[in-house]
C-alpha cells in the first residue's frame, strides 16, 4: 500500500500539469496511467490525419515561459505526432516520469470517512491510500464501439481510430469502410481516400465542416510568435473560448456579431458563398438562436457543397439534417473534395441503415459493401465515461457512474460531485471544457485545484465536499445558459448532451458562459473560503 497526499489519475495534458503543480508545492503525489506511456488523447488517437483544430500556439501549456520558448512548433495546427512529442518534451523538462506509474489502470476507489482518504485499487494489484484524488482521466477517452450485430464475424481487419496501432496500418490497395463522420471521420477520410484502393464512407449524420488551411510555421514566424507570447496568452485568457486566434470555436463566436441571414437578400446570400464558399453559408448572426435562420443557412450550405461535389446525389447526401452549431464545429482539409475521387463512395445511412456486419463487409438496407478493413470513427462516452468505468464508491454507497446514470451527469462548478469528498475532477460535467479550448480550460482547473489543496493543507482541513444544493444550482445555471440557443433544440443529438450513448441522461455537459466568467466565479468561491463546499 502506497500512501500519498494526492493521487492523479491519468498522464495526459491535464495529469502532467497537475502532477507538476502539486509536486512544486510539496505534496506527495503520483500519477497513475492506464496506457503504456504518457500523452492521453494524443497517445492513443494515432489515426491517419489526426491533428488539433486549435492553433498550437494556444493549444499548449502557458504556465512555463521556458517551455514555450524552447519548444518548436512546425505547423499552425499540429499533427498528433508533434503534440505527443511536445508532451514528452514537457515531461522530460519537468522530470515528471519518475512520478508516473504506467500500465496501471485504476479500477476501484472507496472513500474511508474515518481516515478521510480514498482507498484506491488498480488492475495490477497495486493499492494506494490517498488523502485526495484528482481525476485527470480525460473527457473523450472512452471509445464507443457501435452496437452493430455480427461485428465480430467480419473476416477482415477492424480498427478503432482512438486505439490505432502504434506501428501504423498500411491501407494501400485495400477496400476500406469508415463508419462515422464526426471530427475524427472528417479528418481521417481525405487521408484514407488517398491511400486506399476503395473507400466507402458510412454516414449516419452529415457533418457541418469549416474548411481550413494548415500551414507550416517557419523560423522567422515562430520567433515573432514567441516574442509576442505575453500578448498571445493575455488575449487567450480574456477570450471566452480560451483561443483568441482563429479556430472553429472563435469562428462560431465571431458569427454572433454578423448580420442575420433572415433579412439577407438572395444576392447577399449568393455573394457570401461566392466569396467564402461553405464558410460563407454559415457566417450569420442569427443561426445560433433562430432555428428558421439555421435552416436557411443549411440550405445555403447545401448550395455551397453542390459547387464542390460533382455528383448531385452525393452532394445532396452530404447536407446535414440537424441544426448547425449543435454538434462540435469541425475543421476540414479537403473533406468534400474527397467525394470527387473515383475511389470514394458515400453511403447515406439515412436512406437505409447498417443492419449487420458480415464476414465480407457491411450489410445495409441499401445493399452489401465488400471490405478488407472497417474503421470505426464512432465517438466516445464523453465527460462521464472514464470515471463511470471505475467503481468510485461515494459516501452514500452509490458509485459515481450510478449517480450520473440515475440523477444525470453533473458536478458543482464542474470540479467536484456532492457525495464524493476529496475527489477533484478535471473537466467534470458543468465545466467549460467541451465548449472551449480544452487546454486553456484545463490550466484554470489545475491551478484552482492546486491552490485549493495548498489552502486545505495550510488550514488543517482533511476533507472537502461540494454541497448538493450548490450543485443543483450550478446544473440549473449551466442549462439556462444554452436554453435560448439551438443547443437546446430536440434535434440536437451529440456527445455534448450525452445523446450519442444509449441510456445516458440527456443534459448539455459543458459550461457555456466562457472561461473568463467561469474563472471569476471559481475565484470568488475560493476567495470567500470555498463557498458551498463543506470543509472539515
Ligand atoms: P463524434 O463527433 O461523436 O462522431 C461519431 C460519428 O460516428 C458520428 O458521425 C456518428 O453519427 C457516427 N456513429 C456512431 N455510431 C454509429 C453507428 N452505429 N452507425 C453509424 N454511424 C455511427 O466522435 P469523433 O468524431 O471521434 O469526435 C469526438 C470529439 O473529439 C470531437 O467533437 C472533438 O471534440 C474531438 N476531436 C477533435 C479533433 C480535432 O481537434 N480536430 C479530432 C477528432 C476528435 P451520429 O452523429 O449520427 O451519432
Could you tell me if the CB of 40 is within 6 A of ligand 1? no
Which residue blocks in 460-488 are alpha helix, DSSP H? 468-482
Centre of ligand 1 from the C-alpha of residue 328, in Å: 9
Tell me, in angstroms, the distance from the centre of ligand 1 to residue 29's CA.
35
pLDDT in tens, 310-338: 999 999 999 999 999 888 878 888 999 99
Joined grid coordinates for residue 342: 473515383
Q: Residues of the chain whose pLDDT is less than 70?
A: none
Strand partners, 176: 199, 373
Which residues, at least 6 apart from 462, have a Cβ–Cβ distance to it below 8 Å? 116, 131, 456, 536
Ligand 1 atom closest to residue 495's alpha carbon, by position in its atom list: 3
Q: Which atom of ligand 1 is nearest to the CA of 161?
A: 26
Name residues whose C-beta falls within 8 Å of residue 64's C-beta, 6 or more positions apart in sequence.
90, 93, 94
Laid out side by side, the sheet with 367-370 consists of 354-358, 361-364, 367-370
Please report how the helices 438-459 and 515-527 are oriented relative to each other, as an axis angle in degrees rounded to 10.
0
Cβ–ligand 1 contact at 55 (below 6 Å): no
What residue's CA is closest to ligand 1, atom 31? 183
All three cell numbers of 89, joined, read 518534451
Give the separation between CA 301 and CA 487, rounded to whole angstroms. Answer: 19
300 Cβ below 6 A of ligand 1: no
Distance of CA 504 from the midpoint of ligand 1 (Å) = 16
d(CA 347, CA 318): 10
Ligand 1 and 385: CB distance under 6 A: no
Residue 72 pLDDT:
98
Complete domains list, the chain, with CATH: 2-38+96-142+381-535 (3.50.50.60)
Distance CA 429, CA 408 (A): 10
Contact 97, 91 (CB under 8 A): yes
Kindly give the distance from the C-alpha atom of residue 485 to the centroid of ligand 1, in angstroms, as a whole number: 22
CA of 523 to the centre of ligand 1 (A): 34
Kindly state if the Cβ of 143 falls inside 6 Å of ligand 1.
no
Atom number of ligand 1 nearest to Cα 148: 18
pTM flag (> 0.85): yes
Atom of ligand 1 nearest to the CA of 328: 32
β-strand pairing of 361-364 with 354-358: antiparallel
Query: How many Å lie between the centroid of ligand 1 and the Cα of residue 430?
Result: 21
Our separate counts of H helices and E strands in the chain read 17, 20
For residue 253, the model assigns a pLDDT of 82
- Point out the ligand 1 atom lying closest to the alpha carbon of residue 181: 9
* 185 close to ligand 1 (CB < 6 Angstrom): yes
Name the residue among 13, 6, 119, 2 with its Cα closest to residue 427: 13
The residue contributing the CA closest to ligand 1 atom 12 is: 180
**Is the shortest distance between the CB of 417 and ligand 1 below 6 Å?**
no
Amino acid at each position: 500500500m502506497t500512501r500519498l497526499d494526492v493521487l492523479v489519475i491519468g498522464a495526459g495534458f491535464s495529469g502532467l500539469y497537475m502532477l507538476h503543480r502539486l509536486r512544486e508545492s510539496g505534496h506527495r503525489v503520483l500519477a497513475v496511467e492506464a496506457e503504456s506511456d504518457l500523452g492521453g488523447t494524443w497517445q492513443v488517437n494515432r489515426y491517419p490525419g489526426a491533428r488539433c483544430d486549435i492553433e498550437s500556439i494556444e493549444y499548449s501549456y502557458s504556465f512555463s515561459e521556458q517551455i514555450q520558448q524552447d519548444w518548436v512548433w512546425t505547423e499552425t495546427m499540429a499533427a498528433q505526432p508533434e503534440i505527443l512529442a511536445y508532451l514528452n518534451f514537457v515531461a522530460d523538462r519537468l522530470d515528471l516520469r519518475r512520478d508516473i506509474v504506467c500500465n496501471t489502470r485504476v479500477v476501484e476507489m472507496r472513500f474511508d470517512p474515518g481516515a478521510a482518504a480514498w482507498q484506491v485499487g488498480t488492475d495490477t494489484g497495486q493499492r494506494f491510500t490517498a488523502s485526495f484524488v484528482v481525476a485527470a482521466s480525460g473527457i473523450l477517452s472512452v471509445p464507443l464501439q457501435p452496437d452493430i450485430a455480427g461485428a465480430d464475424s467480419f473476416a477482415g481487419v477492424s480498427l478503432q481510430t482512438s486505439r490505432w496501432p502504434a506501428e501504423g496500418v498500411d491501407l494501400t490497395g485495400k477496400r476500406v469502410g469508415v463508419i462515422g463522420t464526426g471530427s475524427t471521420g472528417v479528418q481521417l477520410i481525405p487521408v484514407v481516400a488517398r491511400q486506399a484502393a476503395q473507400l466507402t464512407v458510412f454516414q449516419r449524420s452529415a457533418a457541418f465542416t469549416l474548411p481550413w488551411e494548415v500551414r507550416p510555421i517557419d523560423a522567422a514566424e515562430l520567433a515573432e510568435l514567441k516574442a509576442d507570447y505575453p500578448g498571445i496568452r493575455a488575449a487567450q485568457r480574456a477570450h471566452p473560448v480560451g483561443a483568441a486566434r482563429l479556430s472553429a470555436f472563435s469562428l462560431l463566436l465571431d458569427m454572433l456579431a454578423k448580420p442575420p441571414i433572415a433579412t439577407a437578400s438572395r444576392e447577399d446570400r449568393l455573394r457570401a458563398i461566392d466569396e467564402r464558399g461553405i464558410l460563407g453559408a454559415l457566417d450569420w448572426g442569427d443561426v445560433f438562436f433562430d432555428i428558421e435562420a439555421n435552416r436557411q443557412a443549411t440550405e445555403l450550405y447545401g448550395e455551397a457543397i453542390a459547387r464542390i461535389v460533382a455528383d448531385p446525389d452525393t452532394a445532396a447526401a452530404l447536407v446535414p439534417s440537424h441544426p448547425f452549431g449543435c454538434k462540435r464545429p469541425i475543421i476540414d482539409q479537403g473533406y468534400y473534395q474527397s467525394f470527387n475521387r473515383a475511389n470514394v463512395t458515400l453511403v447515406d445511412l439515412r436512406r437505409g441503415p447498417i443492419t449487420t456486419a458480415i464476414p465480407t463487409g457491411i450489410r445495409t438496407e441499401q445493399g452489401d459493401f465488400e471490405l478488407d478493413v472497417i474503421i470505426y470513427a464512432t465517438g466516445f462516452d464523453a465527460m462521464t465515461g472514464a470515471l463511470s468505468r471505475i467503481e468510485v464508491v461515494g459516501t452514500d454507497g452509490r458509485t459515481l457512474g450510478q449517480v450520473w446514470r440515475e440523477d444525470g451527469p453533473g458536478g458543482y462548478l464542474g470540479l467536484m460531485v456532492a457525495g464524493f469528498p476529496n475527489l477533484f475532477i478535471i473537466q467534470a460535467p458543468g465545466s467549460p471544457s467541451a465548449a472551449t479550448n480544452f487546454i486553456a480550460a484545463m490550466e484554470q482547473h489545475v491551478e484552482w485545484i492546486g491552490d485549493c489543496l495548498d489552502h486545505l493543507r495550510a488550514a488543517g482541513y482533511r476533507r472537502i465536499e461540494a454541497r448538493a444544493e450548490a450543485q443543483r444550482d450550478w446544473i440549473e445555471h449551466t442549462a439556462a445558459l444554452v436554453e435560448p440557443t439551438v443547443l437546446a433544440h430536440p434535434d440536437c443529438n451529440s456527445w455534448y448532451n450525452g445523446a450519442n450513448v444509449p441510456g445516458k441522461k440527456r443534459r448539455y455537459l459543458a459550461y457555456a458562459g466562457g472561461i473568463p466568467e467561469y474563472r471569476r466565479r471559481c475565484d470568488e468561491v475560493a476567495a470567500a473560503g470555498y463557498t458551498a463546499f463543506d470543509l472539515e
